[in-house]
Structures are given as C-alpha cells and as structure tokens.
Structure 1
Amino acid sequence: MRTPRIFVEMPLRVGDTVTLPAGATRHVTQVLRLTTDAPVLLFNGDGCDYSARLLTASRGMTQAVLDAVTTLEPLVPLEIQLALGVSKGERMDYALQKAVELGVTRLIPLFTARSQVRLDGERLARRWEHWRGVVIGACEQSGRRRLPQLDPAVPLAQWLEQWTDGGYLLDPLAAQALTAIPAPAASVTLLIGPEGGLSAPEREQVFARGFQGVRLGPRILRTETAPLAALAVLQALWGDFI
C-alpha cells in the first residue's frame, strides 16, 4: 500500500514531533482513517518529503514524529506559466489538477469577456482557496514536492498591463504549430481562453503585448483539454518528459 502524502504549512525537521493542522488531521483520521504508528509522508513545499510515524491519531489532535528526509527535488528544466481563462466548476478544477500533474510551475487564473464565472470579494476568495486545495491535492497525488505558484484571479486586461514577457496564445486559427516554436531557453508562458475562447478585442490586446498564436493540430479542443495537450507537448519536447 502506498504511503499517504500530506501537505502541511509548517517547518519540518527530522527528529521533531509536529502537531498536524486541523485540515490535515481531518484528512488523516476521517478520510484515510489512519491510526497510531501508521507511516505518512509530510511535505511543506520546500522540495523534500519527510517520512513520519503517527504518535496519536484522533479528531482532537494528531501528532507525528519525523524520522527521515528525502533528497531535494530537482529543479525543472523548463518553467511553464499557464494563464488560463476561468471556466465553470469542474472544468476549471480538472484543468488545474491535471496541469499540476503535468509539471506546470505557475498558474494564472484570468477573467475574460467570455468567462461564464463572475466572482468578487468573499466569493472569489473562497473559490481561490478551493483552487489552492485542488493544486495541493494534485501535488500530494503526483509526488511533487514543490507547490506551483497560484496567482490571484484577475481580469485579462489587468494582467496584460503588467505582463512584459509575452508568450503563446493557443489559437486553432494560428498558422504556426506549437511544435514549430523555437526551443524556450528556460521558461515559457502559455495563454488559453475559457469556453468559446478570447473575444476579438482581447486577441488584439494579447498580440499587442507580444504574444504569438500557436495551434494544436486541426481540431478545436475543450478549455479543460487544451492545456493538458499543450503541456504534454512542451514537456515532451523541452521539459522533463525527455
């Protein structure tokens, strides 16, 4: 049986006894139903896994002693920033989850003209926390020891005002294929719209900021499918699929 991996936001050091936060305690005791002496792997995003053993396992308090640490996770050969138009419910969750599994290093949720989700204030804060939970869960499952950066969700125009590095817009009408772009030196930014893609004015704004259009074959992919296909291509050509 695979040892459960659990993310905790706290310092970790071999030999220490730690008290798991409330969320991790609920996961350990109510979802995984682990008991005293069960082995777990803890990580906090510093690039290492810490093997641990549960000293107590109850809904009131769960403690673990850290007994070993893994080697540091290697840095990725290609940093991939994914700017993604916010889509509805499970589509957005699916895209974020699979993007993390495929090794994306930064996630940038964007509200666009055709985004069918409109959030602000407290509702937006709750949704961002939900997305962060999706990202953490994907790291726990996939074995990633460093968490991708999850930016606050902002309107596309606001993001473009401060984004100076350009990138590639996934566009089924583009003349250039994604496989034909020059090999990125160290990082690449991929922009993908929501259901229905970007509007004509948004496309103009994006191209004015130095983005280039690229396509993925002859078919139009769904908003939750397109980033996965594009990330797989980038990782196979220049990333850590090699």
Structure 2
Amino acid sequence: MDTSAARRNILARIRAASGRPAEPQPGEREAVADYLERHPPGPRPDMPTDLDGIAARFIDEARLMASTVEQVESLDHVPAAAARYLAQLGAAPSAVAWATLGALPWAQAGLAVEFRKPESGDLVGITGCFCATAETGSLVLLSGPETQASMALLPETHIAVVPASRIVAGHEEAFALMRAERGELPRAVNFVSGPSRTGDIEQTIVLGAHGPYRVHVIVVRGA
C-alpha cells in the first residue's frame, strides 16, 4: 500500500499548525541547500576513496556486525549464491522477495521465490538495497510499494543483494544520494547493520531479538 499521500497530509497539517503553507516553498529548499553547503561535515574516520577499497571496507565492517558475505560477478549469479547459503543453513529452498528482483533466474537455481509482502510464516526474505555504507557495514533500505520494509524485519533470515556500485562511504553520502535521486524521503528509511540483537539481559548479546536472526549479504561486483 502506498502511504505517501497520508504522509503528505500529516506533514501538511504540521506545517499549517506552525503557520506555513502546506507544501515547502522554493525558498525553503534553497535555504536548506545553502545551510548544507555552508556547514560541511565534521571529523570522520579515514575511508578509502576508490570503489574497490570502499567495497572491501563495507565487507569487513558487515562481517564485524555478524553479517555473512559472499561476492558474485553479476546479478544473474545471485540466485545460485542464495541457494548455496540456504543449503548451508539446511533451510528449505523457498523465500519471499521484493518485486524489483523478479527478473533474476530464481527457478533455475532451484529456489521457489514469491514476490509479495511477507507474512508471519515466511522464514526467508530477500531484498535489494538503495545503497550500503562502508563505514558501518550497513544496508540502506527505502520503503515503497515494491520494496516493503517488512521484508528485512519479519523473516528469520534476511538475504540482501548489494550492487558494488551502490556502496558509499558513510551515512552522509547515503543521505546525499537520497536527496539527489529521490528528492524527498519515503515513509521509512532503515539502516540495517547485521542481525537484530539485544544486550538487555545481563549485557549478553542475543541475536534475533526483534528481527532477523541472520543477515546474508550478496555483493555483486559487476552491478
């Protein structure tokens, strides 16, 4: 369900309550752009500047966050990689996935994949990503009618497809990319840094507390 209209209505009411027009005016957007231009980011850790280095940093950081990672050469190799991972887990070769991944050869890899919103009984969810951040090994997921946020939250196992060309240095670059390509944020933006976890009980880390028990990232070098 597309909730963008409801989101606009809510924001319009908030703006009206503060005495502003329902829609942002050109001057407001220019003021934001000017502010961002005049206020550069603060100190940041050293990061690679080349694409291969950024991808390697992302893989290292993702593994530190308890994600598992496999690299493949092209998008057509993704289904076979997903099938290998599920076989290693001893899991059934079935999943639900974002509709944006529907053109990949899932059946040829022996996987039964349905392209729909996940339900409570679905154990494996497959997503793409808007981008990924090398600094923290995070996936950046934007919600939409074909990219449901629940796909990375409800199933016990989350498999994410990450084109190497969509790996950026940090959160700053991720938000800059959103502004450049989307203009405005969707209803939900999720930064996923490994499996769900909690340390509430005696500071013992437990995975799968309120989301996936495991996250497997497939980095596509040729995409």
Instruction: Settle same-fold status: TM greater than 0.5.
Output: no
TM-score normalised by length of structure 2: 0.25
Larger Rg: 1 or 2?
1
TM-score normalised by length of structure 1: 0.23
Name the structure where helix makes up a greater proportion of residues: 2
Higher relative contact order (CA 8 A, sep 6+): 2
